[in-house]
Amino acid sequence: MQTALITGGSRGLGLALATSLVEDGWNVVIDGRDESALNDAAFTLRSVPAGGEVHAIAGDVADRRHRVALLDAVAGLGRLDLLVNNASVLGPSPQPTLADYPLDEFEGVLAVNVIAPLALIQAALPMLRANGGTVVDITSDAAVEGYAGWGGYGSSKAALEQLSNVLAAEEPLLRVYWFDPGDMRTAMHQAAFPGEDISDRPLPETVVPGLRRLLRNSPPSGRFRAADVMEFEP
């Protein structure tokens, strides 16, 4: 039975992906900072008929002790096939320009969006190598486009993309994907546009089939957009 570790799995894309995997019999370990939302997500996942084991651990991926707890849960399941670094923070909202960006808040964005994923990758590598596993780092078009007001979040995702790129070169037996899901109707996207109606954005569940298709087809490591992956042959 395959096992996935998905950070930020209490809602949004993380929960949608976890649901899809559990429905296919995977074991999943998920986390989230909101314990109530995480418990609700775990209840939903454990209600899936014939689903795999579900471990839900509340905490912040920037906390080393929390990361240890996540990897301990994975080790208890005996293997790791998929690590999804999905947990992210936006930073200040509304997004400030770089001229006015509080540096202490920027350090917090980098801690969650860049340093924590690398720390989890480092800790998970032995198990991933043992099974020829896959790393998926969730990125954004803000990593490659110069959107005014997105310098903090965008630069953190740009750093995550280059981290993924180098990891792919250093770990040729693994699959490493930096995956851009596009705009989605999520709490983070709403926070980025306070007061605006984002009901026209697609739900995260609409992105999951493309991501699952990417995982099934297992192309060489690289950057993939959800819109492009949906065009893959099934």
Catalytic, 153? Answer: yes
Nearest Cα residue to 54 out of 34, 77, 72, 36: 77
CB distance 59 to 87 below 8 Å: no
β-strand pairing of 134-138 with 175-180: parallel
Instruction: Choose the catalytic residue: 101, 147, 153, 177.
Output: 153
Query: DSSP states of 147-186 as a string?
Result: -TT-HHHHHHHHHHHHHHHHHHHH-TTSEEEEEE--S-SS
CA angle 41, 216, 31 (to 5 degrees): 25
Q: Where are the beta strands (DSSP E) in the chain?
A: 3-6, 27-32, 54-58, 82-85, 134-138, 175-180, 222-225
Contacts of 4 (CB under 8 A, 6+ apart): 17, 18, 21, 26, 27, 28, 29, 80, 81, 82, 83, 84
CB distance 169 to 210 below 8 Å: no
Residue 230's CB: how many other CB atoms inside 10 A? 14
Cα–Cα dist 94/128, whole Å: 38
Which residues are annotated as catalytic?
Answer: 153
